Amino acid sequence: MTRQYGIIGYPLGHSLSPLVHNWGFRRFGIPAEYTAWPTPPEDLPAFMDRFRSTPFAGASVTIPHKTTVMTFVDVVTDLGQAVGAVNTLCWRDGVLWGENTDVEGFCRPLVNRDLAPGTALVLGCGGAARAAVVGLTRLGVAHVAVTSRTDAKAEALAREFGIESVPWAARETYQPELLVNTTPLGMHGRFEDLSPYPGEVLTSAIVVYDLVYNPYHTVLAKAALAAGGLVIPGLEMFLYQAVEQFRLWTGRILPEEELRSLLMEALYGT
């Protein structure tokens, strides 16, 4: 029997998740398939009823359902509760769990590079920012700050997590060891020529971690490289959160170098 997995969100656009997970199923000879399930918010309750009754084997969850889907699972993991969002649904002994693999996806590239920053500034305050803040806290970063184009949102997030908020207009005065972009600025399309942080104030001492993965090097990343700094591309977070999802569902570990090559070819033709 072929197990059914998929991704729920709306709109889904061109998701790379089917490519990744179907490749993984084929590689390990697992009788499963992964499809896209576009699900408008008003259809989420009916979809979750169908998810249970079919039953589907697991799902990825993306915008706008990462928070609302939590009310439709049996258990939310500690990590999901800490972030306030889940991006993975999986079954354990007949119990439907909501998990968050974005934190693992965010942290692994930092751990792999043996980076232990003392200060970090997170640009943005959406779901990815929340995962980044939780991840940085778990990695023991002593001073974490957040900034957003809407100062009130950054202040609210800072209060929730007990961190510092920095006014957007003054963000360039905060010189962190690690700068994390969770905004869409720099993303392929109408934001591609924009940067969330003034490139002229970057130095070789600032590590830039841009969660945007298309293009591979954003305006911000190019400015960081020009300043002699280290850049962690956003593709790394996507890769490792997918690896963790696949492990939760199958117990198998996707080989990261093969997966990275697959994604590089799909996204950039290299």
Q: Could you give the residue numbers annotated as active site?
A: 66
198-232 burial: b if 16+ Cβ within 10 Å, else e? ebeebeeebbbbbbbbbbbbbbbbbbbeebebebb
CA distance 207 to 127: 22
Measured distance CA(125)–CA(148) in Å, rounded? 6
Residue by residue, DSSP assigns 198-254 as: -GGG--TT-EEEE---SSSS-HHHHHHHHTT--EEETHHHHHHHHHHHHHHHHS---
Burial of 58 (0-12, 13-18, 19+ CB in 10 A): buried
CB of 213 within 8 A of CB of 267? yes
